[in-house]
Homo-oligomer: A and B are copies of this chain.
Amino acid sequence: MSKVIRVELGARSYDIHAGTDLLGSCGGVCRELQLGSRCLIVSDSNVAPLYGHVVRDSLAEAGFQPAIFIVPAGEESKDPLTLSLIYDEALARMLDRQSFIVALGGGVIGDLAGYAAASFLRGIRFVQVPTSLMAMVDSSVGGKTGINLPQGKNLVGAFHQPSVVLADLATLSTLPDREYISGLSEVMKYGVIQDAEFFAFLEKKAGKILARDPETLERVVARCCELKADVVGQDERESGLRAILNFGHTLAHAIEQVAGYGKFLHGEAVAVGMAYAAILSVSAAGLPGEAAERIINLLGKFGLPVSVKGLNWNAVRKAMQADKKNTGGAVRFVLACEIGRVEPGIEVKEDLLEEVWNVISQ
């Protein structure tokens, strides 16, 4: 049982499968895509023991020669050193231009393994098998890949679309609570930026969602993928529309950087960033106060943070300035006009930036 969402990108179009029992179908799906026989599964020390053998066996049964490379779990692995170890393994396993990489794990693995695939031999194909909610609804869709540098996140990377995405909802059952909840902030984001009805659905089904009810989850994940696929299909390389996906992310990136990678999960930082953007939106984009309240309330209902303590404003402000999405110096925000509709590129006055920071950081 699964839903299939098509990402329309001309010659680079691909399917996202969202459902259960998809890990075991990996080999069959790859065979249909006529991928070369050698492949490297890249996974991490949390996910590989749980699901590595299922994917490997499925690939082997379908006639592939799968090897598996396991990196330490955590954001620290999304670095140049780990990337070079993947290259070494790919060379040792004699991967060629027809070979492919399978990214089995959360967002870190998808970004890292995806970038390895984008750059190895100037680009080989890869398959996304996201095992976290965050990866399913966000990072595995759209072809963004990359690694971090000491100076900041995702400073090096490529747009490289996967050949297929297999989002097996059964893997969410083993996800730690904090990770799962973190993913809900990106889920909510789609409601805020594109779909008021979906936002209302999330409010109504918050209990079932927190209980990880498979039926509800399939609907949630599929809808998020549809919404993201629609944006990505219109703006693959983030030259325009795709910017709306950064709702809440300008502050989130700054918080993550100033607090140090790993203090906050990405989704937690995004939750705080969305609370911040919601309040900014009331003053700077005409968002009704009640709508901002609904956003902040739903964040709270999901157990996501809506404020942050102990961070220095000047440091945060400077980090927002340096965010790579800024062009030519000015900090611009994606702000909401109403639930379901946002506008990118809004400049916000300095006073207001700090004033709202004081609200969410007391």
Contact = CB atoms under 8 A, between A and B. Distances in A.
A34 interface: no
Contacts of A145: 122
Given A97-B325, A326-B96, A157 B122 contact: yes
Contacts of A37: 328
A64 to B, nearest CB: 13
Nearest to A11: B237
A96 B327 CA distance: 6
A155 interface: yes
Nearest to A322: B94
A86 to B, nearest CB: 10
A251 to B, nearest CB: 18
A324 B87 CA distance: 13
Contact of A120 (B97, B155, B159): B155
Contacts of A157: 119, 121-122
A118 B237 CA distance: 13
Interface of A: 36-37, 80, 84, 87-88, 91, 94, 96-98, 118-123, 144-146, 149, 151-152, 154-159, 237-238, 322, 324-328
25 contacts: A36-B327, A36-B328, A80-B80, A80-B84, A84-B149, A87-B149, A88-B149, A91-B151, A91-B155, A96-B324, A96-B326, A97-B324, A98-B327, A98-B328, A118-B158, A119-B119, A119-B157, A120-B155, A121-B155, A121-B324, A122-B145, A122-B146, A122-B156, A122-B157, A122-B159
Given A94-B322, A119-B156, 6 more contacts: A87-B155, A96-B326, A97-B324, A118-B158, A122-B156, A123-B159
